[in-house]
C-alpha cells in the first residue's frame, strides 16, 4: 500500500469500495479473445479510459475524464483475492522478479514517468525531497541516468536504508547547501513545494509527485523570480519499470517493512503510516 491508500482512508476523495492499486497476481479467467493470458503472472496499469474521448483516442487514458482507476476511482481495487482488469492493462512479470518486487511495478512506473517528462542526464544534479517509499524508488530510478542524486529526508532510519541502497542521503537540515538542476518533491506534504523552491537552481525544474490533499500555501513568487519550471507527474510506463526491477537497478527488498493478511488490514494501515512498504497477502491466514 502507499500514501494514496492512506489518503483515501482519511476520506480525501469520494471513493467507496475496495482500495489497493499496487498488486501482482495470476490470471485465472479471461474472455476467449484474451485467453492467452490465463495462468500468467501479471501486474497491471491502473487507469481504464472510456475508449471514445479525445484523450483515449490519443492513447492517454490517464487523463480520460470518464476514467476509472483501480482502487482509487470508481473501480474495486487489489486488497482482495480477485480483481478484474482489461487485458490491455496487463504486463507479464519476468521470472526473475519475485512477487514481493513485482508489487512495486506501479510506483516504479510512476518514478519512470519523470524520465519521460524531464531530460535527466549525467551532467545534472538532482535532489529528491522525501525519504518515504516513493522517494526512495524515484531516487533509484534517477540514479540509472548517471545523474548525481541526493535524497533529503527527515527520518534517520529511512536515510540509513537510502544509503544502504547506494544513495547519497541527508537529513534535510544537515544537507549541503547546494542548489540543483532538478528537484523532485515526494514528501507527501504540501510544504514540500516551498522546500523544492529553495533547493532548485534558477531556470531549474521541479517535479511534483505529492498528490496531497488539503490546503498548502506556497511561495509562488519564487518560481517567477527564478523562472522555475513546475511539472506535475503521476502514472508512468510499466515496461521500463519491470526492466529496472528485473535488472536489479531498482531494489525493493529493503523497503518492505511488513506483510499482513487481509483480516489484519487495520494493523497493516497502522504500520503503513510509520513504515515504508507494507504488503497485504490474501493467501496469509
Q: Is residue 103 involved in binding Zn ion (CB under 5 A)?
A: no
The one among 8, 43, 46, 64 contacting Zn ion by CB under 5 A: 64
Q: Please give the distance of CA 139 from its chain centroid, rounded to a whole number.
A: 11
The site for Zn ion, by CB under 5 A, has a size of 7
Rg (CA), the chain: 19
Residue window 15-54: x/- pattern of binding to Zn ion, with contact defined by CB under 5 A? ----------------------------------xx--x-
Q: Is residue 105 involved in binding Zn ion (CB under 5 A)?
A: no
Q: Is residue 56 involved in binding Zn ion (CB under 5 A)?
A: yes
**Least Å from the CB of residue 2 to Zn ion:** 3
Q: Please give the distance of CA 71 from its chain centroid, rounded to a whole number.
A: 15
The one among 4, 47, 233, 252 contacting Zn ion by CB under 5 A: 4
Q: Is residue 262 involved in binding Zn ion (CB under 5 A)?
A: no
Q: Is residue 77 involved in binding Zn ion (CB under 5 A)?
A: no
What is the DSSP code string of 87-147?
GGGEEEPPTTS-HHHHTTHHHHHHHHHHHHHS---TT-EEEEE--SHHHHHHHHHHHTTT-
Element (H, E) at 270: helix 265-274
Query: Which one, 3 or 240, has the nearer CB to Zn ion?
Result: 3
Rounded CA separation 285/276 (Å): 22
Strand order from edge to edge, sheet including 229-232: 168-171, 148-153, 125-129, 180-185, 200-208, 229-232
Q: Name the one range near Zn ion by CB under 5 A: 61-69, 156-164, 180-188, 229-237.
A: 61-69
Q: Is residue 197 involved in binding Zn ion (CB under 5 A)?
A: no
Q: Point out which residues bind Zn ion (CB under 5 A).
A: 2, 4, 49-50, 53, 56, 64
Amino acid at each position: 500500500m502507499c500514501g494514496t491508500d492512506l489518503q483515501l482512508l482519511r476520506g480525501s476523495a469520494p471513493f467507496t469500495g475496495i482500495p489497493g492499486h499496487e498488486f501482482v497476481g495470476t490470471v485465472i479467467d479471461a474472455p476467449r479473445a484474451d485467453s492467452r493470458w490465463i495462468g500468467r503472472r501479471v501486474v497491471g496499469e491502473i487507469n481504464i479510459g472510456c475508449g471514445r474521448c479525445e484523450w483515449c483516442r490519443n492513447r492517454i487514458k490517464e487523463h480520460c475524464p470518464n476514467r476509472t482507476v483501480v482502487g482509487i476511482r470508481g473501480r474495486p481495487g487489489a486488497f482482495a483475492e480477485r480483481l478484474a482488469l482489461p487485458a490491455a492493462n496487463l504486463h507479464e512479470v519476468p521470472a526473475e522478479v519475485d512477487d514481493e518486487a513485482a508489487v512495486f511495478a506501479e510506483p516504479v512506473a510512476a518514478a519512470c514517468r519523470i524520465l519521460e517528462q524531464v531530460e535527466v542526464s549525467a551532467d545534472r544534479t538532482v535532489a529528491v525531497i522525501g525519504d518515504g517509499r516513493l522517494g526512495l524508488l524515484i531516487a533509484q530510478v534517477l540514479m540509472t541516468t548517471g545523474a548525481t542524486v541526493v535524497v533529503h529526508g527527515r527520518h534517520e532510519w529511512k536515510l540509513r536504508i537510502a544509503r544502504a541502497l547506494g544513495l547519497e542521503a541527508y537529513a534535510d537540515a544537515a544537507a549541503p547547501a547546494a542548489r540543483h538542476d532538478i528537484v523532485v518533491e515526494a514528501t507527501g506534504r504540501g510544504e514540500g513545494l516551498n522546500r523544492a523552491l529553495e533547493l532548485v537552481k534558477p531556470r531549474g525544474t521541479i517535479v511534483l509527485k505529492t498528490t496531497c490533499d488539503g490546503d498548502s500555501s506556497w511561495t509562488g513568487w519564487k518560481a517567477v523570480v527564478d523562472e522555475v519550471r513546475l511539472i506535475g507527474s503521476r502514472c508512468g510506463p510499466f515496461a521500463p519499470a519491470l526492466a529496472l526491477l528485473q535488472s536489479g537497478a531498482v531494489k525493493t527488498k529493503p523497503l518492505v517493512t511488513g506483510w499482513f493478511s487481509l483480516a489484519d488490514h487495520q494493523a497493516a494501515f497502522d504500520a503503513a503510516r510509520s513504515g515504508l512498504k507494507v504488503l497485504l497477502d490474501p493467501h496469509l491466514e
